[in-house]
Amino acid sequence: MKKILIPSDGEMAKSVDVDHHGAPVLTTERLCLRGWEDGDFAPYLDLVSDSERMRYVGAGAMTIAQAQNEYREMRDQWITRGIGVFVIAKRENHKSLGFTGLFESPMLDEPELCWSLFPGCEGMGYASEAAALARDWSYRERDIGPLMSLVHPENYPSRAVAERLGASIERESTWLGKPRFVYRHVVPV
């Protein structure tokens, strides 16, 4: 495993390890952002197959086949593109909590900073902490930013995360036929 030192900024990463299909491993005091492992699929499937939890995300709930395809793409994107979506895990026990990072699609003009937590992991600040870490890494290590996030107007928890990160609504738009606010994130200092 290769270690890379990056500037420390409060709770920001102290070092970066590279592993998990080429994904960097970023850490804070509480969290670890890493690449996808086989054991992450079950909680991912629980999230993306739940129509209530996915009502504001993408095209909605996924079938098992759709989830498997997207999961494989997320695992492989680090090798093919050098950027992607991280698993959010507890640093102390490596339990996966959700995901954050750069979502790319041919339907987008730029990568989206995304985040989502697995059932039962909400309300503890994990999404904000992890998304800030992914945002800052994207800017410092890949020179990508300022980033944007697409958030459904009624997705109040995700709007709160974007605003805690210092993002503001740049404009209104649509994604897959649903309304979205385009939040623009500030460039980290």
Residue 9: pLDDT above 50? no
Give residue 21's pLDDT. 66
Q: Which amino acid is at 37?
A: E
For the chain, domains (ranges, CATH) are 2-144 (3.40.630.30)
Give residue 185's pLDDT. 96
Better pLDDT: 16 or 47? 47
Q: For 147-168, how does the pLDDT look when each residue is reduced to its tens digit (9 = 90+)?
A: 999 999 999 999 999 999 999 9
**pLDDT mean over 5-13:** 38
**pLDDT mean over 44-48:** 89
Q: For 68-107, how does the pLDDT look when each residue is reduced to its tens digit (9 = 90+)?
A: 988 888 888 888 888 999 999 999 999 999 999 998 888 8
| Residue 158: its H or E element | helix 156-164
Sign of the torsion formed by the C-alpha atoms of 140, 144, 147 and 149: negative
**Strand intervals (E) in 78-155:** 85-90, 96-103, 112-117, 148-151
C-alpha radius of gyration, the chain, whole number: 15
Q: For 97-145, how does the pLDDT look when each residue is reduced to its tens digit (9 = 90+)?
A: 999 999 888 888 899 999 999 989 999 999 999 999 999 999 999 999 8
Give residue 105's pLDDT. 82
CB count within 10 Å of CB 105 equals 11
Give residue 172's pLDDT. 96
Which residues, 6+ apart, have CB-to-CB distance to 160 below 8 Å?
A: none
pTM of the predicted protein model: 0.85
Q: 55-66 burial, b for 16+ CB within 10 Å, e for fewer?
A: ebbbeebbeeee
| Residue 140: its H or E element | helix 126-142
CB count within 10 Å of CB 24 equals 26
Tell me how far the alpha carbon of residue 184 is from its chain's centroid.
15
